[in-house]
Amino acid sequence: MEILMPEPQIYVERTLAIIKPDVIDKEEEIEDLILRSGFHIIQKRKLQLSPEQCSNFYAEQFGKVFFPNLTAYMSSGPIVAMVLARNCAVSYWKELLGPSNSLRARITHPHSLRALFGTDELRNGLHGSLSISSAEREIRFMFPEAILEPIPTGQRARDYLNVYVKPTLLAGLTALCKEKPADPMIWLADWLLEHNPNKPKLQYHISQEE
């Protein structure tokens, strides 16, 4: 009997995360929580937006009563913008953030990031994209040079694995056999991270545009 195996697919999404001005001093702690929650930070940028840039970023909120306060708050100091990647990144990041109102988050989601770092409904500490389409728009806004390609599936996914994944994995397993470490799984994981040919480079720079 022939066993039909499902076609390999790569389930990776990207979403935008922002550490807002009033919790910028908690950057290291927040990043540690992000990484321990299974995300990869593939791009990072520290910058300060002008009120006009904030208005453009939050254009979908234009006309709402809180809009002026929102743009003033987001332009009041430096922010850290990050592109996060993992499977189902948008939904997992929204879940980790919790409700937009930090006061409500402390009651209903006490372990969420907004409950831990936010102050109230406006100053809620962190931003997250609401959908895959908004994530793409927001990533392009914060990282104009970012290349957002569709997730490969089917033959394209197999080609990707053959070209980029299998050669590195084979080299790692060969090195593992030679090294014979006490904990082979941890050793191999560290080796693969160190020798990843597509290892992303984080961007660290502060910019302010008038």
d(CA 13, CA 34): 15
In this structure, are strands 13-19 and 126-128 parallel, antiparallel, or unpaired? antiparallel
**Count of residues for the chain?**
210
Asked if 205 is an active-site residue, the reply is no
Beta strands in the chain (DSSP E): 13-19, 40-47, 79-86, 126-128
In this structure, are strands 13-19 and 40-47 parallel, antiparallel, or unpaired? unpaired
Q: Which of 40, 109, 111, 127 is catalytic?
A: 127
8 Å CB contact between 49 and 80: no
Q: How many CA atoms lie within 13 A of 146 on its CB side?
A: 26
The residues near 55 (Cβ < 8 Å, ≥ 6 apart) are: 62, 67, 71
Residues assigned a catalytic role: 127
